[in-house]
């Protein structure tokens, strides 16, 4: 999935972008590891750190992973996934698939692309209520 698809999904109530980065990177409280990169997140996205779905590097039981998804998904039928570089977003997409979700899309450029482009909007702070 490309930047245009993510941008077009920002205000679409059927779309939810889940960000796999740590919560402090998502909120902008922690600087990005790439020098000069803006901090924050894509508007209307939701934080779901991939590390929260693991126990000592192994996946939590599927029931716990499904509960984590259910806590953030509110009727959206299209799930998009982002992270810092596109790699850990794939973990969320895999877990979503294992939980039975469909219509899953990984944003390949993720924050390294979005955060590096000044013309694209960002937000800081916690996830907005959708």
CA angle 24, 10, 4 (to 5 degrees): 105
Q: Which residues contact 128 (CB under 8 A, 6 or more apart)?
A: 43, 44
* Annotated catalytic residue 83: yes
Find the catalytic residue in 46, 83, 90, 99.
Answer: 83
Percent of residues in the chain assigned helix, strand, coil, to nearest 5: 35, 15, 50
How far does the chain reach from its first CA to its final CA, in angstroms? 22
CA–CA separation, 84 and 82 (whole Å)? 7
CA angle 130, 49, 86 (to 5 degrees): 95
Active site residues: 83
């Amino acid at each position: 999935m490309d930047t245009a698809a993510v941008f077009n999904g920002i205000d679409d109530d059927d779309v939810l972008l889940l960000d796999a980065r740590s919560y402090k990177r998502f909120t902008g409280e922690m600087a990005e590891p790439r020098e000069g990169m803006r901090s924050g997140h894509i508007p209307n996205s939701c934080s779901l750190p991939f590390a929260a779905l693991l126990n000592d590097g192994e996946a939590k039981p599927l029931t716990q992973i499904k509960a984590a998804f259910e806590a953030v998904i509110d009727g959206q039928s299209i799930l998009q996934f982002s992270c810092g570089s596109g790699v850990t977003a794939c973990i969320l997409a895999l877990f979503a698939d294992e939980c039975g979700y469909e219509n899953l899309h990984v944003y390949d450029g993720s924050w390294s692309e979005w955060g590096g482009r000044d013309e694209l909007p960002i937000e800081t702070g916690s996830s907005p209520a959708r």
